[in-house]
Amino acid sequence: MEYTQLGRTGLKVGRLVLGTMNFGPQTDEATSHAIMDTALDAGLNFFDTANVYGQTAGKGRTEEIIGSWFAKDPSHRDKVVLATKMYGNMAEDAPAWPNHDKLSALNIRRAVEGSLKRLGTDRIDVYQFHHVDRSTPFEEIWQAVDVLIQQGKILYAGSSNFPGYKIAQANETAARRGMVGLVSEQCHYNLFERRAEMEVIPAAQEYGLGVIPWSPLGGGLLGGVIRKEVQGGRRAGGRTAERLADPKERARIQAYEDLLDKHGVDPGETALAWLLTRPGVTGPIIGPRTPEQLTGALRALDLELGEELLAGLDEIFPGPGPAPEAFAW
């Protein structure tokens, strides 16, 4: 496993991030434990979760599954860089009361305590804000974070789904307080969705944040979806099916799969490997439902994409271009 440094921290993390969103709703506890065992054995040491993950199995269930894995072998905790997120309402069956969601100092404190209990740990290595809270000033957010760092309950703070200007705002506010600020950003980034290249990734690079793309396979669109459909495999549903129903989108996906057939490479592995070639990217988040899916994702680490293939991918999925040049008429 190749390791890199997470932003401006001293944390060394693998080039893939184990996302745990499926633990609970789609993957039972025993299989989730097996996936984490396989990941750690392969050297994948950066685990990402969120307090709201679990959903149909119950909010917080995913964190509980990770906590039970730590409890089985406490030595695992010090081998893992553990990241979780907060923002959403954690009430199970009722609307949120005021201050039971978003980024108020009160909810940050409440959310940290809940996550620590479910995860069965005394600290969170990277504590992430799941979304922007336009109603809470960063001065208040950083005051709450500073207290938690002083208490040893979190080590670093990160963001998720932040636009470039909010990354700048957050870190300029932190700098005035003499704090490190955000050390990572989770953004929606894949071959289909490249808008992060305009502002988010340049802002992250400017402020020294690690970039952790989510949905690297575009909701399954980049994982060989047409090939699987033809072979009689699992059919796409939801938004993926809607995209496939659009003739223009389907033509792009078909061109993508044809290009990869020409080069003899797997679609899902290629989509991950492409992200690993992108400037500023620490590692994409993978969300395996089975140990076999994890093993397939790990193969992307050894896949080298030639210039001809990269040029072909850019032709099918052109990026927005750098700012400010891309804004010119």
Q: CA 16 to CA 18: how far, in whole Å?
A: 7
Residue 112: strand, helix, or coil: helix
Closest among 47, 85, 92 to 66, alpha carbons compared: 47
Residues 53, 127, 156, 256: which is the catalytic one?
Answer: 53
Burial 114-153 (b: 16+ CB within 10 A, else e): bbbebbbbebbbbbbbbbbbeebebebbbebbeebbeeeb
Residue with tokens 């993978």: 286
Residue 239: strand, helix, or coil: helix
Sign of CA dihedral 216, 182, 156, 79: positive
Closest among 201, 184, 204, 205 to 193, alpha carbons compared: 201
* Alpha helices per DSSP H over the chain: 29-41, 61-72, 105-119, 138-151, 164-176, 200-207, 225-230, 238-245, 247-263, 267-276, 291-298, 307-316
Residue 264: strand, helix, or coil: coil
Catalytic residue flag (residue 53): yes
* Alpha helices per DSSP H over 130-246: 138-151, 164-176, 200-207, 225-230, 238-245
Q: CA 57 to CA 92: how far, in whole Å?
A: 11
Q: Is 220 left (phi over 0), alpha (psi -120 to 50) or beta?
A: left
Q: 165 and 290 in contact (C-beta within 8 Å)?
A: no
The set of catalytic residues is 53
